[in-house]
Amino acid sequence: MENLRKRSERDLVNAHKFALERFAQELLPVRDSLEMGLATLAGGQIDPARLQEGVELTLQMLTTVLGKFGITEVNPQFERFNPGLHQAISLQERTDVEPNTVVTVVQKGYLLNDRLLRPAMVIVSRSPEGTGSAGGRS
């Protein structure tokens, strides 16, 4: 029984220690791609179109890796404000959208298997008449 307990403890320690191994292996090609892009820039051969293409491909690689591990993007542009997923950093008077609508996404949020990792930082609409009764006139 003592050997079984020690083995279980060792397995648990190893599981914690190497839990991110697969994730790290998937991220290494993304890092390689970024390093190649920087090497190209350092070499002085800058073709803006090829640089943009390389950055877009690298971003696509990163998005694919994140998706494999259950990390999804929260990009709530023109959705109803949800305090469980979004963090309002400002209000903006708007007449072209409903009040409490996300009008600008300043920083995207992320979920890990439907659990919030980081809320989306957003600017939310409010109706113009929402400012009149609070004593804002001089």
> DSSP string covering 65-130, please?
HHHHTTEEEE--TTSBP-TTTEEEEEEEE-SSS-TTBEEEEEE-EEEETTEEEEPEEEEEEE-GGG
C-alpha distance across the termini of the chain, in Å: 80
pLDDT band at 75 (very low <50, low <70, confident <90, very high): very high
pLDDT band at 133 (very low <50, low <70, confident <90, very high): very low
- pLDDT, residue 132, reads 43
The helix/strand/coil state of 52 is helix
- DSSP structural state of residue 35: H
pLDDT band at 97 (very low <50, low <70, confident <90, very high): very high
User: Does 19 score more than 80 pLDDT?
Assistant: yes
- φ and ψ of 74, to 5 deg: -110, 105
User: Does 137 score more than 50 pLDDT?
Assistant: no
Percent of the chain with pLDDT over 90: 70
Section 6-20 average pLDDT: 87
Determine the Cα angle at 112 with ends 109 and 113, to 5°: 130
CATH 1.10.3720.10 holds for 71-130: no
User: Does 29 score more than 90 pLDDT?
Assistant: yes
- pLDDT, residue 129, reads 73
- Listed residue (85, 72, 132, 122) closest to 101, CA to CA: 122
pLDDT band at 46 (very low <50, low <70, confident <90, very high): confident
pLDDT band at 28 (very low <50, low <70, confident <90, very high): very high
- pLDDT, residue 134, reads 38
Give CB contacts under 8 A, 24+ apart, made by 24-32: 26/65, 26/68, 26/69, 27/62, 27/65, 29/61, 30/58, 30/61, 30/62, 30/65
Section 54-74 average pLDDT: 96
CATH 2.30.22.10, the chain: domain bounds? 71-130
- pLDDT, residue 15, reads 84
